[in-house]
Amino acid sequence: METTKKYQLPDLSGESGNAYAIMALVKNSLEKEKCKFRVRSYLEDAMKSDYEHLVGVSYLTLEWLNHRIEREAKKEKVSSKK
């Protein structure tokens, strides 16, 4: 069964494709999930190069965050069965 990802990049055309909007979305997502420790390294990496790099780093960061959320949910499920 495939799970729906909690965080995804929006359609990158128009205002939602603005570099600052993308960085804000990822930063806020990290903070919301109590991953502030990743914000600084994400922002530094995202701003290292061009727009394509920023999109790639943002995508990978959200993938990492979704995977982390999934792992935590599985751990809670196992703990509640004990």
Contact between residue 60 and residue 40 where contact means Cβ atoms under 8 Å apart = no
State the pLDDT at residue 1: 45
Query: In tens digits, what is the pLDDT along the chain, a chain of 82 residues?
Result: 456 788 888 788 777 789 999 999 999 999 999 999 999 999 999 999 999 999 999 999 999 999 999 999 998 888 877 6
> Domain spans of the chain?
36-82
Residue listed under structure tokens 């949910």 = 73
Contact between residue 24 and residue 9 where contact means Cβ atoms under 8 Å apart = no
Contact between residue 71 and residue 82 where contact means Cβ atoms under 8 Å apart = no
pTM, 2 dp: 0.84
12/30 Cα distance (integer angstroms): 20
